[in-house]
Amino acid sequence: MDIHLSPHVFELTQLIRDRALVLYFQPFQSIRLERMGEAFGMSVEEIERHVVRLIQNGSIKARVDSRNKILQARGQDPRVAMFTKAVKTGTRIQESNRKLMLLYKLTW
């Protein structure tokens, strides 16, 4: 091993494993932890611990059904998304109108 890299091997492998778990789950709406464990060569308990840690630090937006051992994605409510978009659009239009009124006052 490299003498400069060896102190960081544990952290690097953990970061790589975390990123792989996030990328593996991305296309799914829900997945069984058993299936993820098989894909990564881990037990269900290990994969559950890793997934819970990723959920807590915000890397995965999901929740774990501990009873059925299923990881389910948490989607944003479409009404909330539409309201947020409407508020942003309204703010942008107000700012644009304020600039136009100021320009209009300057030209008179």
pLDDT, tens only, 67-105: 999 999 887 667 878 888 999 999 999 999 999 999 888
Q: If you average pLDDT over every residue of the chain, what do you get?
A: 90
pLDDT at 76: 66
Amino acid residing at 59: S
pLDDT at 46: 94
pLDDT at 1: 63
Instruction: Single out the residue of 56, 50, 41, 62 nearest to residue 19, CA to CA.
Output: 50
Please report which confidence band the pLDDT of residue 107 belongs to, taking 50, 70 and 90 as the band edges: confident
Please report which confidence band the pLDDT of residue 5 belongs to, taking 50, 70 and 90 as the band edges: confident
Alpha helix (H) residue ranges in the chain? 9-25, 33-40, 44-56, 78-107
pLDDT at 27: 87
C-alpha torsion 8→14→15→20, nearest 10: 140
Residue 69 falls in which region: left (phi positive, over 0), alpha (psi -120 to 50) or beta? left
